[in-house]
Structure 1
Amino acid sequence: MSRRKHGEGSVYSYVRSGVRRYRIQWYEREGTHDPDSPLRRRSQGGFPTAKDAAAALRQKLSSLDRGDPTSTARGGLTVGGFMDEWVEGHRVGESTKAGYLKIIRLHIKPYIGEVELAKLTSTRLAALYRQLESSGRRNHKGERTGEGLGPNTVHKVHQALSVALDSALGDGVIRNNPTRLKGAKPPTTKQIKEAKGEILVWTLGELTQFLKWADHEDREMSPAWTFIGHTGVRRGEVVGLRWSDLDLPTSASIRRTVATIKKKGQPEYDLTKKVKGGRPRKVELNTDVTSALRDHRRRLATVDMNRIRADRPVFANPSDGHQMRPNYVYRRWTRAVERYNLDHRTDPLPPITGHELRHTHASILLIAGWHPKAVQERLGHASFQITMDLYTHLMPSMQRDSMDAYQAMLDRQREEEARPGRLVETGED
């Protein structure tokens, strides 16, 4: 049987995460015992030295000469072992890496961690996804609660496996990526959307009513609620805002965000990084926000002039002036809404979350006639499609409002044409 057509195979080096490794490459027949089957290029990486790689290549070629069945998989390598190896070398941000580590620890290794990587099939993955959907939820200690995970979380497990196994395929560790096969059956886009349900938001009247109350009853956080409610920024972006980012009275530059990093067995910490997409975005301010920021600045100055230095946070921890934590913002928001409703027992507001305050701003803009593309840019969504998917439920009312405006324009045009004594141009000199 012809062993190779393009030379004796090759060894070459590559660098991953600053570490040099070696890869071997060879050609073999697609059908082990069919000399007429097409040649396929194969490769295997991860060798620590060129000598190790050369020895592996000689062994591989000798095996092909003997006509032995071959496998590119590293013998005995498990899914859990490979996922640990992959995540350590995967070049992503700290918050993304922390998310991968959590998925691997809670939703992959307990179920398929001991499965041999070369024997992982799409059918086994489908079984994993269904098991996670039925009983995959775990508490903060990692103990199973008996409840199922939502489709969106299960899809994140599928995405992590897909990216990792693409890397395994590229290294020649596996022959195909089972996550890419139809048999894997991860949750569909439709199932994810249906599980999320409709976003709960306030009307402009409800928002105005709450902010008026907060200006008197929650003065420490009222400027932050006004800023989020009228700009739609994320909690991490609010925490990361500095006085130097403001160009009053017109705008604010959203340059950075703060994320809380949690890793098993390590203390959590806050990481300041660039906003999503890496580019700052300019957010125009209305007079309500400008007024709230100026009043906020004056109050802080009476406490400590250092709190309004250019490099200090605009919305700091009220007790010490240090940067707030993202979760603290949402905890204070939940308490503020609860207090409002206690003060208005006969006419409470829907208990929206802090993130739904961001959605409230977006929905008000869309109902007011803003183009979804402008809303996307203001909120910092990565794509136009994200904006459309989030606020599809508003489209019917927006279409009705647009048609009413269109009809009013036509009616005005007809009234003008019917006005007595109106000159009609004929186009003649």
Structure 2
Amino acid sequence: WTNEEFKVFIEAMESRPVGYTVFMVMYYTGLRVGELLALTPEDIDFDRHVISVNKNYQRLNGKDYIYPPKTEAGYREVVMPKVLESCLKDYLAKLYDVQPTDRIFPYDRGWVGRQMKYGCDHSGTQKIRVHDVRHTHASLLIDMGCTPLLVAERLGHERVQTTMETYSHLYPNKQTEVAAQLDVIATKDDGYEKTS
């Protein structure tokens, strides 16, 4: 999705506070669905403005399981923008008797998929896979000029190479820009432009 498409989609989700919050978190952090569904109140630090990613949720044969991240890079802290902090504060304030280690989104992947279908149907936004919201976050970061290393850290990629292989087509080709900057440097001598 583009930023404009997300805005149209999220507006259609306003009548569904849980789904709204789920997609706000995914769009502004790039968390995987399993990471999102494993979040607890103690993972959200409003003083430091971070979400700690340290586990993964999965439902198998009707049972809920919490696993550690697959790789060391999966353990990470993702800094929240103010718009997401505000959304999460509102959401957590409405939860009844939630304990620090309770899952704040006690649902499964199927439920998230149904929320997405609702949002797409009611907004007219193109249908994408739930996982593609993560790709949308990565695209947003790249558009903002973030380095592959920063994108990799935020997404929890083990290697920057993974980020480059997945998103290299989104990085603009800067060759012409580099050549122009080199020309500027070449024509300067101790801060004074050479005249030819």
Query: TM-score normalized by structure 2?
Result: 0.82
Gaps of 5+ in 1: 1-201, 262-266, 316-322, 342-348, 418-423
1:352 to 2:146 alignment: no
Runs of 4+ in 1 over 3 A off after TM superposition: 402-408
Structure 1: distance between partners of 2:179 and 2:90 = 41
Q: 2 CA distance for matches of 1:219 and 1:280?
A: 27
Cross-structure match for 1:294 = 89
Is the counterpart of residue 218 in structure 1 residue 16 in structure 2? yes
**1:294 aligns to what SS in structure 2?**
helix
Say if 1:333 and 1:354, in contact at 8 Å, map to a contact too.
yes
TM-aligned CA distance change 1:394 to 1:298, over 3 Å: same
Give the distance between the partners of 1:272 and 1:208, measured in 2 at CA. Answer: 32
Give distance in 2, aligned partners of 1:297 and 1:328: 19
Counterpart residue number, 1:277:
71
CA contact (8 A) 1:218 1:336 kept: no
User: Does the 8 A contact of 1:241 with 1:313 survive in 2?
Assistant: yes
Unaligned runs of 5+ in 2: none
Of the three residues 127, 136, 139, the one matched with 1:363 is 139
Residue-by-residue CA offset, 1:295-323 (whole Å, 9 max, x unaligned)? 112222xxx2x12x2112222xxxxxxx2
Q: Secondary structure at the match of 1:211?
A: helix
Letter matched to residue 297 of structure 1: L
Match of 1:330 in 2: 113
What do residues 240-285 of structure 1 show as CA deviations (whole Å, max 9, x unaligned)?
Answer: 0000011115111001001233xxxxx4433211012146211010
Q: What is the alpha-carbon distance in structure 2 between the residues aligned to residue 407 and residue 287 of structure 1?
A: 37
Structure 1 residues 406 and 370: alpha-carbon distance in aligned structure 2, compared to 1, 3 A threshold: farther
Query: Contact 1:330/1:354 (CA < 8 Å) preserved in 2?
Result: yes
Q: Where do 1:158-307 residues align within 5 Å?
A: 202-214=1-13, 216-248=14-46, 250-261=49-60, 267-278=61-72, 280-300=75-95, 304=96, 306-307=97-98
Which amino acid counterpart does residue 145 of structure 2 have in structure 1? G
User: Of residues 173, 177, 183 in structure 2, which corresponds to 1:399?
Assistant: 173
Which residues of 2 match residues 21-170 of structure 1 at below 5 A? none
How many residues matched?
Answer: 185
In the alignment, residue 33 of structure 2 is paired with which amino acid? Answer: R
Instruction: For residue 173 of structure 2, give the secondary structure of its aligned residue in structure 1.
Output: helix
| Structure with more relative contact order (C-alpha pairs < 8 Å, separation 6 or more) | 2
State the Cα distance separating 1:399 from its structure 2 match. 2.4
1:312 aligned to which of 97, 102, 119: 102
Contact 2:35 2:56 in 1 (8 A): yes
1:367 CA drift (Å): 1.5
Q: Tell me which residue corresponds to 2:152.
A: 376
Superposed CA deviations along residues 11-43 of structure 1, whole A, max 9, x for unmatched, are xxxxxxxxxxxxxxxxxxxxxxxxxxxxxxxxx
Provide, for residues 109-129 of structure 1, a one-character-per-residue CA deviation record: whole Å limited to 9, x for no partner.
xxxxxxxxxxxxxxxxxxxxx
Give yes or no for contact 1:229–1:361 (8 Å, CA) kept in 2. yes
Matched-pair contact (CA < 8 Å) for 2:75–2:156: no
Contact 1:251 1:282 (C-alpha < 8 Å) held by counterparts: yes
- Of structures 1 and 2, the larger Rg is shown by 1
CA deviation vs aligned residue, 1:347-377 (integer Å, no higher than 9, x gap): xx22111110110000110121111111111
Deviation, structure 1 residue 388 = 1.4
2: distance between equivalents of 1:209 and 1:247? 29
User: Aligned with 2:137: secondary structure?
Assistant: helix
CA contact (8 A) 2:50 2:77 kept: yes
Structure 2 counterpart of 1:389? 165
Counterpart amino acid of 2:93? R
What is the percent sequence identity of the aligned residues? 25
